[in-house]
A and B are shown apart, each in its own frame.
Chain A
Amino acid sequence: MNLNEVKNGIVRLIKKAETELPQDVIFALEKAYKIETGVAKTQIGAILENIKLAKNSGRPMCQDTGIQTFFVEVGADFPNISQLKDLISDSVKIATREIPLRPNTIDPFSSINHADNTGNHIPYITWDFTEGRDVIITAFPKGGGSENMSKLGMLKPGVGIDGVKDFVVEEMIKAAGNPCPPTVVGIGIGGGADLSLKLGKKALLRPVGVRHKDKSIAAIEEELIKRINDSGIGPMGLGGKTTVLDVHIEKAHRHPASLPVGIVVQCWADRRAKMIIHSNGSWEVK
């Protein structure tokens, strides 16, 4: 396997994520543009113009190019498993220079910027193992402004699902214009503290407009979209009809005493891109 060629592929993956939004997000923004008026319309208009400009000029759409985050599905028979972590990390360093990306990794104690978007635990990689010989990598660069609006609620089970819904709506109203609405909201319900937040983040990988396959959960997603949008917070918190583009829920079974709710917010720049690396080292970025 030509490892340099694989690195080129991962750099291409990062570039695609940073400079081109997935079609499902663009479609949702275009729909929002049609229904908004006044100031809200100017905001969605600027977003759409910005998306076009970034794609055409190959520049990151937002100066906050995020914490480099990857979800990796490893086929158990892929030959170079032990090298994957270094390949991703090296590619992040190359991407930082070449695309370029903003250096976004700061030591929490010394405040020194590591300057290449790597550092302790970063890039942040979530590993899953599957059958087969291919590796699938999803790049999910995550901005700080929206991440700051994440929330963990360890609710009392007695409040029930109605309590969960109220918690989410209240938190999103409190977040107001800070996470760059219109946002996509990922909600993990159940598990423990860490798992609920993890599921919240994973929920964001689902394309905008796709409902949960369980109809009763899908109905709750729709109810939350409506309630948050009825708040009138609107694009950038300046007022309008579109505060969220979508709400995605994932669940885990919970401890009888706990009802954890992890909310993870993604800005309108819902950046995602996917690649497949085959066992011979050839790759495709989708």
Chain B
Amino acid sequence: MEYHLNIPVEDDEIKKLKVGDIIYISGKLFTARDEAHHMILEKDSIPFDPSEMGLYHCGPLMKKNNGKWQVVSAGPTTSSRMELFEDRLLEKYAIKIVIGKGGMGKNTQKALQKYICVYASYTGGAGALAADKIEEVEKVYWLDELSMPEAVWIFKVKEFGPLVVAMDTHGNSIYDKIRK
């Protein structure tokens, strides 16, 4: 099945999604890699609300043009590095969609079921293609502390995809099927 979703998404819509479905999403995403995950979990309060957004495992290549940030290339980064943190992040914030590449482990899979969230795969390395689906760079947090790839970037995206639902809320993972 193919779905076009707007973020924030209701739980019922997320539950409908099954491994192998193709989705396109519109709305806000925040990027977070290892360091940003660590930072979000450590801090008592943060200057943005992850619950309103999708989480994108991405360390973008950005450039500043006339004082405004622009995306040059912004494909996904390897999600398995974030396995150390993801279940705790999903517990802390009501994130409904995680986008990355390569898949995640058992702890995340359990958290996806428990907190109603899906993991969707975007084509790794397709940085120019992804950049063209990002309409606006709304904000950047912790750029000085974490530097360009590790900072949290808030993107407004339109029809961001094609994303493949790779781990759903029913405990299924496309990667398990292949491993067998």
Contact = CB atoms under 8 A, between A and B. Distances in A.
Are A and B a genuine interacting pair, yes or no?
Answer: yes
B166 A148 contact: no
Interface string A29-72: 00000000001001100110110011001011111110000000
Interface stretch (B40-48, B70-78, B109-117): B70-78
A176 B175 contact: yes
A178 interface: yes
Contacts of A237: 102-103, 121, 175, 178
Interface residues of B, number: 40
Contact of B73 (A62, A103, A231, A267): A62
A177 interface: yes
A113 B148 contact: yes
Nearest to B63: A100
A20 B83 CA distance: 33
Contacts of B125: 47, 50, 61-62, 64, 143, 180, 267-269
A11 interface: no
Nearest to B81: A148
Contacts of A178: 78, 80, 102-103
B14 interface: no
A267 B126 CA distance: 12
B179 A63 contact: no
A178 B175 CA distance: 11
* Size category, A interface: 35 or more
Interface string B101-134: 1110000000000000000010111111111100
Contacts of A115: 147
A236 B129 contact: no
Contacts of A62: 73, 75, 125-127
A232 interface: yes
A233 interface: yes
Contact of B121 (A100, A145, A231, A236): A236
A43 B123 contact: yes
Given A53-B129, A103-B149, A177-B175, A63 B60 contact: yes
Interface centre among B75, B125, B166, B177 (most CB of A within 10 A): B125
Contacts, number: 144
Contacts of B129: 46, 49-50, 53
B8 interface: no
B63 A177 contact: no
Nearest to B131: A59
A61 B124 contact: no
B171 interface: no
A186 interface: no
A10 to B, nearest CB: 20
Interface string B12-48: 0000000010100000000000010000000000000
28 contacts: A43-B164, A50-B125, A53-B129, A59-B73, A60-B72, A60-B73, A60-B127, A61-B127, A61-B128, A62-B126, A63-B61, A63-B72, A63-B74, A64-B75, A64-B127, A113-B147, A145-B78, A176-B175, A177-B103, A178-B80, A178-B103, A231-B178, A232-B178, A234-B178, A236-B102, A236-B164, A239-B174, A239-B178
Across the A-B interface, the 8 shortest Cβ-Cβ residue pairs: A113-B147, A180-B124, A63-B73, A46-B123, A50-B126, A50-B129, A63-B127, A102-B61
Interface of A: 39, 42-43, 46-47, 49-50, 53-54, 57, 59-65, 100-104, 106, 111, 113, 115, 143, 145, 148, 176-178, 180, 231-239, 267-269
Given A46-B162, A50-B129, A234-B178, 12 more contacts: A42-B164, A50-B128, A53-B129, A63-B74, A103-B148, A115-B147, A180-B102, A232-B178, A235-B123, A236-B123, A239-B174, A267-B124
